[in-house]
Amino acid sequence: MCGCAWPRADLGGRVRSSFLSSRVPGTRLATRVEKEPVRRLLMAMRLSEMHPALVHFPLTLLPVAVGTDTIGAITRNRRLYEVGRWSIVGAAVATAVAGLFGLIAQEAIDVDDDGRNILKTHRSLNLGLFGALTAMSLIRTRQREPRICYLIAGLGAFTVAIFSAYLGGRLVYDHGAGVVRTRGLGVSDEELTLRNTVHAASQAARDLGRGVKHTAQDLRKGDIVPTLMTTRRTT
Q: Pairing mode, if any, of strands 27-32 and 19-24?
A: antiparallel
Helix (H) or strand (E) segment spanning residue 174: none
Same domain, 33 and 72: no
Same domain, 94 and 143: yes
- What are the residue ranges in the chain where pLDDT is below 50? 1-38, 41-42, 235
Which residues span the domain enclosing 9?
1-42
Beta bridge partners of 203: none
Same domain, 102 and 139: yes
Phi, psi at 177, each rounded to 5°: -60, 120
Check if the beta carbon of residue 208 is closer than 8 Å to that of residue 100: yes
Check if the beta carbon of residue 209 is closer than 8 Å to that of residue 103: no
Quote the pLDDT of residue 118: 93
Same domain, 3 and 59: no
Check if the beta carbon of residue 80 is closer than 8 Å to that of residue 71: yes
Check if the beta carbon of residue 230 is closer than 8 Å to that of residue 113: no
Instruction: Provide the residue type at 105 as one letter.
Output: A
Instruction: Provide the residue type at 212 as one letter.
Output: V
Same domain, 82 and 109: yes
Same domain, 140 and 191: yes
Calpha distance 110→161 (Å, rounded):
24
Please work out, in degrees rounded to the nearest 5, the angle formed at the alpha carbon of residue 179 by the alpha carbons of 159 and 33.
130
Same domain, 49 and 20: no
